[in-house]
Structure 1
Amino acid sequence: MSDTSRFPDVMLLAAGLGSRLRPITDTVPKPLVPVAGVPLIERVMDNAKAEGAKRFIANAHYRADQLLAHFGGLLKLSREEALLDTGGGVKQALPMLASDPFVVMNTDAFWPLGSDQPIARMLKRYTGPEDIVLLCVHPRDAHGFARSHDFCLAPDGRITRDYGAPVIYGGVAIMGKPLFADTPDGAFSLNLLFERCLARESLFGVVLDAPWFHVGDPAALALAESALAAPTAP
């Protein structure tokens, strides 16, 4: 970004159908599913706002008008006539993103507000347009997540396949627009960019120092609400 004093734009991935959260998502899009009374997307935005984020762009497909109406025009929306997956969704929204790099956040995972501020550490770890920096979560801190881990995190902060501590991708990434120059038109996953950076050893990780909640099904939703209602986070 040209103005390093300004927090990067935040791209919210909000186009998923949320079929595993039915019947709730029969009436609201997944980002608006309430967790202890607060919609998922607002919990994610609050995590970013706590570190200085002011400008948000979201992609939307299922019940896009409902998402737009919820924010009353305070959220810029990139509408998808057909689902473009995570990578294709970000690529379509690139003209709406004023900063470079920018932050990408899934809208189905969050940490308790005020428990950590990892994005600042991620921005410090980012060194150039060939990098991607991922938020990483130790399995012991992850709730509502089925897989054991996604990657390994080496002592020097590089993400690898099999060297270092097992970690889960926490749904937050710092990346730049040049990474999308040689990508497919239409739908594709951000995993394509992660794999390219992994191959050239420019995929880095920063560990979240807080509990992390992934809300992908009713059981995970109940777990998150129970934890948030407890006097202290687990």
Structure 2
Amino acid sequence: MTANPNTAMVLAAGLGKRMRPITDTMPKPLVKIAGKTLLDWSLDSLARANVKKAIVNVHYFPEQVVAHIAARRAPQVVISDESEILLESAGGIVKALPKLGKEPFYVINADTFWIDNGASSLDRLALAWDASTMDILLMLADLQSATGHSGGTDFLVGLDGALRRSKGDPEGLIYAGAAIIHPRVFKDAPTGPHSLNAYFDTAIAAGRLFGMKMHGRWITVGTPDAIPLAEAAAAGVLTETP
């Protein structure tokens, strides 16, 4: 790809049950880390990557998200309203496809963020993207670069960058909550709630799921206990000198 995708899908509709009691009164994407909401960490990364339009799906306390993003200028934020039913990751994307267009787009999870060391990870994803060989390109992180991650790894990377499931193999990498996806993968997709994982597996079977390891610190915030870890990691990385 010679230029970054112009559009992005920010997955921000989840219930954040593990973040209770904080999420009893607010949606998880509005939890602040280092003075910035998780949602703004995502949107700021997209703005730096010159994304023009971000589709943000909402379900839980949707009016809070709508009010929060009202003051943003870049990227342009378009709300995809899932108030009636929570559609999960892939279902949310399928609903938003008319807004996303026919070109490859970024997908960002609003409960994780990262601080790049060097070139922008989203810029590097765009440079690595090859629509002729890929349907999905995932940003990946190693366990040593992750803060707040309590699980194992997700994928093993082949010499050509193609992915297969790692089944927790410590040599594997973690899906870091950012990707480029071609909308063709959602052709004939169901409209109800369903997960992106099925599309990952379909792409693996076709040899069209690829990955790129990020450089920097990847931070996931799943529970209240993860907030001070995330704060410390963000502060530590932001104050480091090259």
Q: TM-score, normalised by structure 2?
A: 0.88
CA–CA distance in structure 1, aligned partners of residues 148 and 174 of structure 2: 12
Q: Percent identity?
A: 39
**Residue matched to 1:128:** 131
**Residue matched to 1:149:** 153
1:155 positional shift: 2.1
1:131 positional shift: 1.4
Amino acid at match of 1:40: L
Greater shift, 108-117 or 74-83, is seen at 108-117
Counterpart among 215, 236, 240 of residue 232 in structure 1: 240
CA–CA distance in structure 2, aligned partners of residues 5 and 50 of structure 1: 13
**Residue matched to 1:138:** 142
Describe how 1:55-134 pairs up with structure 2 within 5 A.
55-72=53-70, 74=72, 75-80=77-82, 81-98=84-101, 100-112=103-115, 116-128=119-131, 131-134=135-138
8 A Cα contact 2:116 2:215, kept in partner: no
Cα displacement string for residues 194-222 of structure 1 (whole angstroms, at most 9, x for unaligned residues): 01001111000011100100011112111
1:47 positional shift: 1.7
Cα distance change on mapping 1:6 and 1:116 into 2, 3 Å: closer
Cα distance change on mapping 1:114 and 1:136 into 2, 3 Å: closer
Cα displacement string for residues 19-75 of structure 1 (whole angstroms, at most 9, x for unaligned residues): 111121122111111112110010111122222222111111001111001111752
CA–CA distance in structure 2, aligned partners of residues 149 and 114 of structure 1: 21
Unaligned runs of 5+ in 2: none
8 A Cα contact 1:9 1:99, kept in partner: no
8 A Cα contact 2:57 2:92, kept in partner: yes
CA–CA distance in structure 1, aligned partners of residues 47 and 26 of structure 2: 24
**Residue matched to 1:11:** 9
**Residue matched to 2:188:** 182
8 A Cα contact 1:47 1:113, kept in partner: no
1:160 partnered with 2:168? no
Cα distance change on mapping 1:157 and 1:5 into 2, 3 Å: closer
Unaligned runs of 5+ in 1: none
Count of aligned residue pairs for this structure pair: 231
1:161 positional shift: 2.6
CA–CA distance in structure 2, aligned partners of residues 165 and 116 of structure 1: 24
1:178 positional shift: 1.2
| SS class of match (2:50) | coil
Amino acid at match of 1:232: E
**Residue matched to 1:25:** 23
Cα distance change on mapping 1:12 and 1:179 into 2, 3 Å: same
1:116 positional shift: 4.2
